[in-house]
Structure 1
Amino acid sequence: MPRILAPLLSGATYVRWLHLMIGLVFAGAVLTVYPGTDGWRLTEALARAVPLDAGLLVVAALVPAMRRAEGVQARLLLMPAREQDIAAEPARTWADRRRTATWLIGRVALGAAVGCLSVLVPAAAFDLLLDPAPEVFGLRLPEHRGIRWYPLAAPPLLFALGWLIVWAGRLQLAMAVRLLGPSPAERLAAAELRAERLLERNRLARELHDSIGHALTVTVIQAGAARVVDDPEFVARALEVIEETGRQAMEDLERTLVLLRETRDGAGADGAPGSADAVATERPGIDQVPALLDTARSAGSPVEAWIDVPAAHLPGVLSREGYRIVQEGVTNALKYAPGEPITVRIALHDGQLELRCANALVPAAARATPRRGGKGLRGIRERAALLGGEASAGAESGQWVLAVRMPLRLGA
């Protein structure tokens, strides 16, 4: 019983009924100005007014703003489960205008029918209750001379009207979702936009992880060593490295925040569409790897490096991503094997950029920091895959080796 009565007591039902009644108001307004309607019956008047109604609605649908107005009204009165199911955008294509015209005609036709029944059914129920020979929908019933059973038919009639309003409201909502909702092309565009934003957020997360993670690792190692070593000169050098690393991290953070603002607002920090490219150009590349390795040496880890790559011969994106990969490899070495030798090799071979970072494999019991998470290595694999390359990491001959290969020609 509650399931039967709940829709009849729901506020959404009567808000949708109000939306349906607007269709009757429009049809009635047309009838008031339609010539020669005096003396017509209701059904005849509606039949004569339908062509005029349809013509007016088709003309109205040609106005782009009409689709937006109908979408906003449907969102407010039809109460969809998700607002996104009903668009609130102006018509941009002729297909949008056709769907809007179909919606307007269907809305007015359904609203006029439900509206007429909303007037006629209560009137018929009133007659059944009070008139011994009631007239129901224009049909005069014979007077019942025995037990009056006509009043017993009034409640079921009103109950049926209530459920008619419930189902008409649901049908109106389904029509709105189908005809006012985003088109397949718009849904595809929205899905592509969500995918692009997700990729952008992942890229920003990698940037923060690599730059800030490296800076914090170097800072912790230098601060710990300065606290233990009783050498003023070493302490001064450690503080200098901490200062420089922190400054570099602040610059990286500012670049990332610029990209974040651009992702949120759809434009760069200065409003220029090309500001993202400018920010990306400022990110460090392969030519700054020696400074990165100097930071690792100052943290107490011997570093041997072979860099046989003219930075000018690398595409900008390959140079920047290569730097981040080496940075993550060095950071992991400093974190999980502090003080152990690090070997870095960057070279071009067979049309590919090869990156290799190796450090001594320290037993788990002797590590200063236990291995967990693996987000950095996952980020490296994602960077390499996006550029058409591959990455591997693992134990090899007593060393932990990170190896990455990426083609020089992007998309090859």
Structure 2
Amino acid sequence: MTKIAVPGILAPLLAGATYARLLHLLVGWIFVGVVMLIYPGTVGLTLTRIVAECIAVDSVLLMLVALIPATRRAEGIQARLLLVPDREQDIAADSSRGWADRWRTALWLIGRVALGSAVGMATVLGVNAGGGLLAGPRGPSCLPLLPVALFAYGWLVVVAGRLQLAMAVRLLGPSPAERLAEAELRAERLLERNRLARELHDSIGHALTVTVIQAGAAREVGDPEFVAKALEVIEETGRQAMDDLERTLVLLRETPPGANGTATEQPGIEQLPALFDTARAAGSPVEAWIDVPTGTLPGVLARESYRILQEGVTNALKYAPGEPLRVSIAVRDGQLELRCTNRARRGANGGGGAGGSGGVGGVPRPAGGGRKGGKGLRGIRERATLLGGEATAGAAADGSGEWVLAVRLPLRLGA
């Protein structure tokens, strides 16, 4: 089917939205006509007097109507249907929630009726003038002017419709305060989703790393007792990952914690010994020092500290399996200090060379280069920044060949 090209200046005149907006304009003019017939009428009054009294009466009536909360909703729905905005959310469809909404609704009603009346009067005057001119003695000679008059009237409707739409967006749309509140809400939701994504990455990533290492070791060693211990670790790690996944899904469903009895306790430093036992079971010796008085850490700090150390242990198991791991967590000078250190293998933890296939206890070593600041380390830095602290990760400066993750967090936010 061949499409006919329409010049840009004619395209708005052929758009359906233009005539839907004309209908919206004429509704306001009809309101004025009905009021005028009731009061002040048209008998014995000049046009100037009629217009002045209609303006006064209409304005009072429209302001009274705007006091009804549902008026704003009705006007918003009608404007969405007939003014055809590019985005429907630019025009609200909610009832008035305060006096500011009522005043804006009143201004909208008065402006709508005034603009509609102007277009309606222009329509009537144009039709009368055109009809009289064509019916007169010079009618045939004026026929060539008819397309020009229709073109001018069409563009009058286009401009008036666009002006009406701009008024609707300004007066019926969300207020600046509402837009700011909506933007803040979107930002909060985005931050929450990012936090949940980090939770899943840390928890599930740790569980999968331990599972892969244990399964690989069990296959290589072949000792029934070792296999049984590996399966026990895999089972416990999988159960913890399922609990974390269920808690995250509860939050994603926006279900209040504990509403369905499936929400689990948030992890904290009390769960660190179990985390270290998992690493030991995977073949990596762990030396841990925890110097944190009971009740010192706020809930959010305890949870985030656990997640940071969990990611540190996961990285150590992934990039240097079997290597000794030293972890310390202590409170000093009003700050919580976290440190995770392990010996860097060649080709791992940012060391030189390519990763081989050897390993401790027959556990395969990850192939490829070392750590390059992936999602895990980026998540640690994000957590530390949000809590007002800082995090560093990299090879030790003394050339010992160790990989060091160091995090400092203030005990009080904003400190």
Structure-1-length-normalised TM-score: 0.89
Q: Could you tell me how far apart the structure 1 residues matched to 2:294 and 2:77 are?
A: 55
Q: Assess, with a 3 A threshold, how the Cα gap between structure 1 residues 271 and 156 changes in structure 2: closer, same or farther.
A: farther
Letter in 2 for 1:268: P
Partner of 2:366: 368
Q: Secondary structure at the match of 2:93?
A: coil
Is the 2:337–2:409 Cα contact (8 Å) retained in structure 1?
yes
Is the 2:40–2:53 Cα contact (8 Å) retained in structure 1?
no
Q: Assess, with a 3 A threshold, how the Cα gap between structure 1 residues 260 and 71 changes in structure 2: closer, same or farther.
A: same
Partner of 1:203: 195
Q: Could you tell me how far apart the structure 1 residues matched to 2:113 and 2:258 are?
A: 48
Partner of 1:378: 378
How far off is 1:40 after superposition? 5.4
Q: Structure 1 or 2: larger helix share?
A: 1
Partner of 1:227: 219
| Structure 1 runs not aligned, ≥5 long | 135-147
Q: Could you tell me how far apart the structure 1 residues matched to 2:21 and 2:374 are?
A: 53
How far off is 1:211 after superposition? 0.6
Is the 1:223–1:238 Cα contact (8 Å) retained in structure 2?
yes
Is the 2:59–2:110 Cα contact (8 Å) retained in structure 1?
yes
Q: Secondary structure at the match of 1:312?
A: coil
How far off is 1:90 after superposition? 1.9
How far off is 1:355 after superposition? 0.6
How far off is 1:388 after superposition? 1.7
Is the 1:388–1:411 Cα contact (8 Å) retained in structure 2?
yes
How far off is 1:45 after superposition? 3.5
Partner of 2:340: 357
Q: Could you tell me how far apart the structure 2 residues matched to 1:313 and 1:42 are?
A: 82
Partner of 2:325: 342
Partner of 2:414: 411
How far off is 1:327 after superposition? 0.2
Partner of 2:3: none
Query: How do residues 10-21 of structure 1 correspond to structure 2 at under 5 angstroms?
Result: 10-21=15-26
Q: Could you tell me how far apart the structure 1 residues matched to 2:33 and 2:182 are?
A: 40
Q: Assess, with a 3 A threshold, how the Cα gap between structure 1 residues 270 and 304 changes in structure 2: closer, same or farther.
A: closer
How far off is 1:114 after superposition? 0.7
Is the 2:320–2:343 Cα contact (8 Å) retained in structure 1?
yes
Deviations 1:365-385 (A, max 9, x none): 125144456111111111112
Is the 1:87–1:180 Cα contact (8 Å) retained in structure 2?
yes
Query: 2:209 pairs with 196, 217, 220, which one?
Result: 217
Letter in 1 for 2:290: I
Partner of 2:256: 268
Query: 1:252 pairs with 241, 244, 269, which one?
Result: 244
How far off is 1:336 after superposition? 0.9
Q: Secondary structure at the match of 1:175?
A: helix
How far off is 1:79 after superposition? 1.3
Asked if 1:57 corresponds to 2:62, the answer is: yes
Partner of 1:171: 163
Q: Assess, with a 3 A threshold, how the Cα gap between structure 1 residues 269 and 133 changes in structure 2: closer, same or farther.
A: farther
Query: How do residues 91-106 of structure 1 correspond to structure 2 at under 5 angstroms?
Result: 91-106=96-111
Partner of 2:351: none
How far off is 1:44 after superposition? 5.3
Is the 2:40–2:54 Cα contact (8 Å) retained in structure 1?
no
Is the 1:128–1:151 Cα contact (8 Å) retained in structure 2?
no
Q: Secondary structure at the match of 1:4?
A: coil
How far off is 1:118 after superposition? 2.5
Query: 2:72 pairs with 64, 67, 72, which one?
Result: 67
Identity of aligned residues (%): 71
Q: Could you tell me how far apart the structure 1 residues matched to 2:95 and 2:79 are?
A: 14
Asked if 1:128 corresponds to 2:125, the answer is: no
How far off is 1:409 after superposition? 2.4
Q: Could you tell me how far apart the structure 2 residues matched to 1:42 and 1:123 are?
A: 16
Is the 1:286–1:311 Cα contact (8 Å) retained in structure 2?
no
Give me the CA root mean square deviation.
Answer: 2.2
How far off is 1:359 after superposition? 1.2
Q: Assess, with a 3 A threshold, how the Cα gap between structure 1 residues 194 and 212 changes in structure 2: closer, same or farther.
A: same
Deviation above 4 Å: which 4+ runs of structure 1? 39-44, 269-272
Is the 1:128–1:154 Cα contact (8 Å) retained in structure 2?
no
Asked if 1:328 corresponds to 2:320, the answer is: no
Partner of 1:6: 11
Moved more, 32-41 or 284-293: 32-41
Letter in 1 for 2:28: G
Aligned residues: 390
Asked if 1:387 corresponds to 2:387, the answer is: yes
Is the 2:209–2:317 Cα contact (8 Å) retained in structure 1?
yes
Q: Assess, with a 3 A threshold, how the Cα gap between structure 1 residues 38 and 186 changes in structure 2: closer, same or farther.
A: same
Letter in 1 for 2:279: A
Q: Could you tell me how far apart the structure 2 residues matched to 1:129 and 1:180 are?
A: 43
Letter in 2 for 1:391: A
Q: Could you tell me how far apart the structure 1 residues matched to 2:180 and 2:326 are?
A: 47
Q: Could you tell me how far apart the structure 2 residues matched to 1:327 and 1:400 are?
A: 16
